[in-house]
Structure 1
Amino acid sequence: MVKVKLIPTYRFVNSRCSLRGNPVDLAFGKAIDTALAQYNYYQSWTRRSLLMEAMKCAMKVFTEELRKQGVELSDGERRMYAGRAWRMLSCWRKSKYTGLLRPRTRVVLLERSGMVYGVFAQPDFWDRDRVFYEVKSYNVEKDEDAGRCAKEQCRVFALLGELRLIYFTEDANGYYTLVERRVERDLGVLNELWEYILKLSDDECTYRELKELEDYHPIVKYRFNTDTGKWEYLGTWSLRPGRTL
């Protein structure tokens, strides 16, 4: 039996950068992320607008995250964030992305020198064919720290296939638009992942049988070719083709 040493994508990302946003902005970002995912999921079941339901979802998550952080906002501050959420969700509702669904978690396998490491990876959405989408509720070009983390995360997600980074931008009048950027695959991140996982102790990782991973997750495999000194993409597959990927 082949055992795979595994980490989630966020472990690698956190080793290379850190989010230093204030707790209110972090809570708001999580609220928007959750509302977008819920909007798209339920939109696949109905033709009517779900904007109000998405708004309620966002504010509920926002309130709960603030409670966990022990942060209290004034009524005026809460109305300000509610207005931002409404404008962002309205922007999303009018976009071409509402038909996208969340993909199942993939496992990127790295095989080298007889050892196999793995990384769990799950972008926000995909088109149920070949293109993945990662969505950020902030402008990745203006927010230096968060933008760096987003780019490190996307380097891993781009190993799955074609990847688009989508993020919100706000104009001077407070209205939002969505920007889409294609993220090119950089095989150099495989060396960085390998070195990072190699240094982790057993207690810092998860171990799973390869057969178990193949039974439950779509697999994306890379192998290091010692003759060329380069990583090679070996393909993507799922042993349960009848299940939604």
Structure 2
Amino acid sequence: MPPIRRFRDRAATTPQWKTIAPQSFRPIRQQRTPSLRMADSPVPEADSARDPSAAEQRLPLREVQKQLTRERVIDAAMEVFSERGFGPTTMNDIAARANLNRGTIYLHFADKSAIIHAALDALAPEELAIYAAAETATTRSELEAIMDHAVEVWITGLGRIWRHMRDAVALDPAVRNWRDEFVDRQVLRVCEVLEHFGVQPYERRYARSLLLVCMWNDFVANVCDRTTANRQATVAALADFFFAATGATVSDELL
């Protein structure tokens, strides 16, 4: 067989990729560009460390954990206060009851008096909601429903704090200031409610508000009980006092 014939047969049986020169791929390789990450793709941890906005997205979770820890400490403190009293209780006792180390508690509260302060502040939204609801009551039945809810809030919230308030005030003057501020907020809000019902002048409205608030706080700390009979009597008495403060007759109609 002539040499040319053998070369042609060999070329026909050789894979095509072996017959292409490497230089023909160079223009294609030069056109290739690195792949880019999509805008909505997850940011790696290294990038998130340099990007402040990525760190800010984790703040809500930390705030929730912080709030849960504070509530856990407050609940533990109220339990220990009820068992040992405010004075003998130490931060170590509260830490042991909350199952936290003492350093964690000090990150949130400077001392046990600060726990009382935080517990009072936590009640403010619920207190304001009760007064706002009382302002919209038009009948005695509506008012008694509001007072029933108020008793539940006071038993689970204000009552467990107020029964320790006397000892706390005697040991720490700062607690007295916080208590007075809390009572002042209550009185001013009740003043607004009584103004809605037309109680005038301001001096009379303020005096009635102060009497109502003091009666409510002491009543909650010393008398409130979860038994059905006492609960019903408490609600009826609170409604009677509120009717008397507004100057309305104790009937089904409030306005």
Is the shorter-chain TM-score for this pair beyond 0.5, marking a shared fold?
Answer: no
Q: Which has the larger radius of gyration?
A: 2
What's the TM-score, normalizing by structure 2?
0.32
What's the TM-score, normalizing by structure 1?
0.33
Q: Which one scores higher on RCO, CA 8 angstroms, separation ≥ 6?
A: 1
Structure with the higher helix share, 1 or 2: 2
